């Protein structure tokens, strides 16, 4: 029988630092939730977290919680609970998994962080639809359940170029949520604290960008699969010094690997780009699948989505408006194609994997001809795999495996 | 079982190169001699014990080839059960094997349409036989052999009679649905409406073709393979009519993956 090859994946030491960061973060939130005088805001992953920090809110990000539901594969049993109360299996499986967990009264936080029994109760919910409309529906459900205010920012879509009109509109929307938030916080927005949070977010973003850029080295010290968990502090901790300290350590370790020529996998023969969401419940399986074929998925749009180069403490509202509108997910296909093309060149990629996530159209970019157009432009082959971020009922592991193996065979023929 | 060091049992035939394609529905074995002649083959239901089925398929193929296990220089397996073949030294994907098998018969730039029991593939090759790209159907069974099997069961028609029935159609019934379950409902509606069974079966064939053609664009030369093609030549004729040009079919369309695997075995066996 054909022998199975031993798969070598070199874990980063700093992953433990990131895990500790997340543990501290959730314990702090849990404590705030239980106290009488601390306020908790729920915020979408690319929502205006800096404003919330400027009012002293403890900020919880449900999307990260949903990713945990996916990674622990709890989502599969929870999604049907939300389907049964009217939330279709065709809509965002972050939303359905999270609402399902709430209905069942369970959370992966209890398993990961003993002592935490439930997600922190919100005093207010704050969204930015830059991710999708689903976040608004998701938060609206909780606003009704908890009987707390819901405020937010409605984004633009398919933006070719971010213009002053976009910035003005989004900045005004952000300013408009300040007053209702102040009412909940019981205090005024402290502009100095806001500016400091913006400055810290920017520094965190710059460090995260450098960490991801380290993957341009050959061999790459990092994989996309590592990145999906290492990015935790950039999502939940931006605007804090602690996140910056964590990324300084990560960058140091990555630079050390680069200097010593140490790659993240045993043998890096093929370098791939991942476009779309991870399949959270299959992170480990996919990581081993690619590494076993001597392929390293080194870069992605997803992990780069928490890089906010436009943030500027001198102009907090305008720069937040720019940073949260310049995002890949908000932009036109022309912009996205150029973006990916630049990444392919920078990271010296041999191929692209597009994840067609059934319930996440906004993070799926292979449905309007992009793979064909990009392949024509760059000559770099691509593969589309069908799956989902959280709903494992929507994927076939055997088909994914066959597709990926066949794709690597195809790349081999070109070497 | 697979070694070059043992004495050849049949020096006239040896060395032999074996390809095994363990598909979701059928297991196919092909035995080639060193000059790439197909001298033995076998096709049987995969069942639930892939290892035993692959063993039985090999035994039958070797008997046909007039060879012995000791004559096998190298064996490569492919298909869903590729990891379950005890005598295989290497695995390759069915996409790679169909590509290699088809290029062996038609050495030019081609688009391959493989309609299997559980999945469909479209594979594009350049004039040197290198893969330019490929597509597999989604998890859905629409357009696969499983769809026709399901429908034959629903209509209570033996699978092997469907080709003849479709050929005798006078006015094809159009089925609009994507989904196997919805298609079954449409079929029942048509039966209730008094449509001829021949016309419904032709509609089912057309549904398979539509599902396949929407997977990808086709280049000039089209080759069709797979069990569905092997047992339903009328489906090939319908495809040719639909795309407006002739379709090439290898001599043993159901064996193409196994032949491709055997060709890989020949390459790898000669490297050893």
CB A105 within 8 A of CB A118: yes
Among the residue ranges A170-174, A234-238, A269-273, B10-14, the one predicted with the least confidence is B10-14
- Cα distances (angstroms) measured from residue A116 to each of A17, A26, A95: 20, 8, 21
Under DSSP, is residue A390 helix (H, G, I), strand (E, B) or coil? Answer: coil
Mean pLDDT of A321-337: 96
Q: Does B3 have pLDDT greater than 50? A: no
What's residue B270's pLDDT?
A: 80
**Alpha-carbon torsion (B114, B26, B81, B183), positive or negative:** positive
- Cα atoms in the Cβ-side hemisphere of radius 13 Å centred on A367: 12
How far apart are the CA of A268 and the nearest CA of chain B, in angstroms?
20
Establish, for the pair of chains A and B, how many residue pairs have beta carbons separated by less than 8 Å: 52
Are B136 and A399 within 8 A, CB to CB?
A: yes
Q: Are strands B110-115 and B222-225 parallel, antiparallel or unpaired?
A: parallel
Q: Does B143 have pLDDT greater than 80? A: no
Phi, psi of A104 (to 5 degrees): -85, -10
What's residue B10's pLDDT?
A: 62
What's residue B220's pLDDT?
A: 84
- CATH for A15-190 is 3.40.50.11890
> What is the radius of gyration, based on Cα positions, of chain B?
19
Q: In 3D, which of A273, A251, A275, A253 has the Cα closest to residue A262?
A: A253
% of chain A residues with pLDDT over 90:
96
User: What ipTM did this prediction achieve?
Assistant: 0.87
Residue of A nearest to B89 (CA): A2
Are B136 and A396 within 8 A, CB to CB?
A: no
Q: How far apart are CA A133 and CA B15, in angstroms?
A: 64
Residue of B nearest to A413 (CA): B130
Q: Which of B77, B84, B96 to mutate to test the interface with A (most CBs of A within 10 A)?
A: B96
Are A2 and B83 within 8 A, CB to CB?
A: yes
Which residue among B87, B92, B138 sits closest to A409, beta carbon to beta carbon?
Answer: B92
Residue of A nearest to B98 (CA): A406
3-state helix/strand/coil string of A254-300: HHHHHHHCCCCECCCCEEEEEECCCCHHHHHHHHHHHHHCCEEEEEE
CB A218 within 8 A of CB A294: no
Under DSSP, is residue A136 helix (H, G, I), strand (E, B) or coil? Answer: helix
Which residue among A375, A398, A405 sits closest to B80, beta carbon to beta carbon?
Answer: A398
Superfamily of domain B108-249: ATPase, nucleotide binding domain (3.30.420.40)
Mean pLDDT of chain A: 96
CB A280 within 8 A of CB A395: no
Domain with CATH 3.30.420.40 in chain B: 16-95+255-271, 108-249
pLDDT tens for A280-306 read 999 999 999 999 999 999 999 999 999
Q: Does A5 have pLDDT greater than 90? A: no
- Other C-beta atoms closer than 10 Å to the C-beta of B220 total 9
Q: Does B141 have pLDDT greater than 80? A: no
How far apart are the CA of B251 and the nearest CA of chain A, in angstroms?
25
Q: Does B6 have pLDDT greater than 70? A: no
- Cα distances (angstroms) measured from residue B191 to each of A189, B61, B164: 71, 43, 19
Q: Which residues pair with B115 in a beta bridge?
A: B120
DSSP state letters, A155-167: PP-SBSS--HHHH
pLDDT tens for A205-223 read 999 999 999 999 999 999 9
Domain A194-414 has CATH 3.40.50.11900: yes
Residues of B whose CB is below 8 A from A373: none
Are A2 and B94 within 8 A, CB to CB?
A: no
- Cα distances (angstroms) measured from residue A101 to each of A44, A62, A94, B118: 18, 11, 11, 35
What's residue B4's pLDDT?
A: 35
Q: Does A249 have pLDDT greater than 70? A: yes
CB B200 within 8 A of CB B208: no
CB B211 within 8 A of CB B143: yes
Are A413 and B77 within 8 A, CB to CB?
A: no
Domain with CATH 3.40.50.11900 in chain A: 194-414
Q: Are strands A150-153 and B131-136 parallel, antiparallel or unpaired?
A: unpaired
CB A44 within 8 A of CB A127: yes
Which residue among A381, A382, A409 sits closest to B96, beta carbon to beta carbon?
Answer: A409
Q: How far apart are CA A198 and CA A203, in angstroms?
A: 9
Are A399 and B130 within 8 A, CB to CB?
A: no
Residues of B whose CB is below 8 A from A293: none
Q: Does B158 have pLDDT greater than 80? A: yes
What's residue B13's pLDDT?
A: 74
> Any chain B CB within 8 A of the CB of A402?
yes
> Any chain A CB within 8 A of the CB of B144?
no
Contacts of B124 (CB under 8 A, 6+ apart): B110, B111, B112, B131, B132, B133, B134, B216, B219
What's residue B272's pLDDT?
A: 61
Are A413 and B130 within 8 A, CB to CB?
A: yes
pLDDT tens for B238-254 read 999 999 999 999 999 99
Q: Are strands B90-91 and B110-115 parallel, antiparallel or unpaired?
A: unpaired
CB A224 within 8 A of CB A299: yes
Contacts of A101 (CB under 8 A, 6+ apart): A65, A69, A74, A78, A107, A108
Domain with CATH 3.40.50.11890 in chain A: 15-190
What's residue B117's pLDDT?
A: 82
- CATH for B16-95+255-271 is 3.30.420.40
pLDDT tens for A113-166 read 999 999 999 999 999 999 999 999 999 999 999 999 999 999 999 999 999 999
Contacts of B165 (CB under 8 A, 6+ apart): B157, B197, B198, B201, B202
Cα A227 to chain centroid, rounded: 10
Under DSSP, is residue A413 helix (H, G, I), strand (E, B) or coil? Answer: helix
Q: How far apart are CA B167 and CA B236, in angstroms?
A: 11
**CB contact residues (below 8 A), chain A span 286-345, against chain B:** none
Mean pLDDT of B197-207: 94
Q: Does B7 have pLDDT greater than 50? A: no
Mean pLDDT of A297-318: 96
Q: In 3D, which of A285, A317, A88, A320 has the Cα closest to residue A202?
A: A320
Residues of B whose CB is below 8 A from A410: 131, 133-134
How far apart are the CA of B2 and the nearest CA of chain A, in angstroms?
10
Phi, psi of B112 (to 5 degrees): -100, 130
Q: How far apart are CA B28 and CA A258, in angstroms?
A: 48
Q: How far apart are CA A99 and CA A121, in angstroms?
A: 14
Cα A298 to chain centroid, rounded: 16
CB A286 within 8 A of CB A279: yes
């Amino acid at each position: 029988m054909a022998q199975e090859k031993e798969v070598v994946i070199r874990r980063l030491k700093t992953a433990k630092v990131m895990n500790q960061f997340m543990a501290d973060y959730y314990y702090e939130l849990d404590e705030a939730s239980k106290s009488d005088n601390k306020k908790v805001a729920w915020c979408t992953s690319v929502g205006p977290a800096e404003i919330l920090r400027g009012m002293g809110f403890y900020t919880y990000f449900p999307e990260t919680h949903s990713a945990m539901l996916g990674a622990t594969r709890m989502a599969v049993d929870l999604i049907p609970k939300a389907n049964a109360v009217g939330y279709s299996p065709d809509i965002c499986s972050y939303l359905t998994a999270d609402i399902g967990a709430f209905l069942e009264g369970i959370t992966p936080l209890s398993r990961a962080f003993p002592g935490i029994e439930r997600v922190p109760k919100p005093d207010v919910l704050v969204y930015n639809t830059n991710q999708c409309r689903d976040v608004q529906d998701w938060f609206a459900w909780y606003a009704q359940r908890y009987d707390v205010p819901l405020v937010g920012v409605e984004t633009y879509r398919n933006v070719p170029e971010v213009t002053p009109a976009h910035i003005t509109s989004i900045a005004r929307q952000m300013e408009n949520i300040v007053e209702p938030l102040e009412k909940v916080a019981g205090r005024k927005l402290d502009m100095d604290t806001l500016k400091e949070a913006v400055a810290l977010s920017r520094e965190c973003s710059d460090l995260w960008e450098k960490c991801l850029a380290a993957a341009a080295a050959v061999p790459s010290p990092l994989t996309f699969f590592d990145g999906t968990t290492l990015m935790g502090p950039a999502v939940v901790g931006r605007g804090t010094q602690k996140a910056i300290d964590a990324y300084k350590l990560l960058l140091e370790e990555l630079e050390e690997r680069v200097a010593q020529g140490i790659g993240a996998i045993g043998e890096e023969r093929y370098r791939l780009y991942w476009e779309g969401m991870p399949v959270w419940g299959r992170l480990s399986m996919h990581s081993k699948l690619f590494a076993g074929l001597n392929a390293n998925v080194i870069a992605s749009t997803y992990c780069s989505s928490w890089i906010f180069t436009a943030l500027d403490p001198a102009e907090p509202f305008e720069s937040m408006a720019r940073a949260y509108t310049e995002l890949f997910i908000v932009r036109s296909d022309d912009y996205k194609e150029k973006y990916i093309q630049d990444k392919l060149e920078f990271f010296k990629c041999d191929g692209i994997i597009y994840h067609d996530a059934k319930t996440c159209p906004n993070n799926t970019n292979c449905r309007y001809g992009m793979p064909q157009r990009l392949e024509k432009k760059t000559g770099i082959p691509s593969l589309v795999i069908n799956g989902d971020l959280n709903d494992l009922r929507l994927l076939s592991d055997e088909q994914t495996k066959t597709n990926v193996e066949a794709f690597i065979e195809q790349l081999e023929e070109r070497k | 079982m697979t070694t070059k060091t043992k004495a050849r049992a049949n020096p006239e035939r040896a060395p032999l190169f074996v390809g095994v394609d363990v598909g979701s529905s059928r297991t196919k074995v092909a035995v080639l001699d060193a000059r790439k002649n197909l001298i033995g083959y076998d096709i049987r239901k995969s069942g639930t014990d892939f290892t035993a089925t692959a063993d039985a398929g090999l035994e039958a193929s070797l008997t046909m080839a007039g060879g012995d296990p000791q004559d096998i220089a190298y064996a490569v397996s492919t298909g869903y059960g590729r990891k379950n073949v005890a005598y295989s030294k290497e695995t390759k994907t069915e996409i790679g094997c169909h590509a290699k098998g088809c290029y062996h018969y038609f050495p030019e730039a081609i688009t391959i349409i493989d309609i299997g029991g559980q999945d469909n593939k479209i594979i594009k090759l350049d004039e040197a036989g290198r893969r330019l790209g490929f597509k597999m159907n989604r998890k859905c069974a629409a357009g696969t052999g499983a769809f026709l099997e399901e429908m034959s069961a629903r209509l209570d028609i033996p699978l092997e009679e469907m080709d003849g029935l479709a050929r005798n159609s006078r006015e094809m019934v159009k089925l609009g649905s994507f989904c196997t379950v919805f298609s079954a409902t449409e079929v029942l509606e048509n039966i209730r409406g008094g449509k001829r069974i021949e016309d419904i079966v032709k509609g089912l064939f057309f549904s398979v073709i539509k599902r396949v053609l929407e997977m990808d664009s086709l280049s000039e030369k089209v080759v069709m393979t797979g069990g569905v093609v092997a047992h339903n030549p009328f489906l090939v004729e319908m495809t040719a009519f639909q795309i407006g040009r002739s379709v090439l079919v290898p001599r043993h369309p159901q064996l193409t993956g196994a032949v491709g695997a055997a060709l890989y075995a020949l390459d790898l066996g000669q490297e050893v």
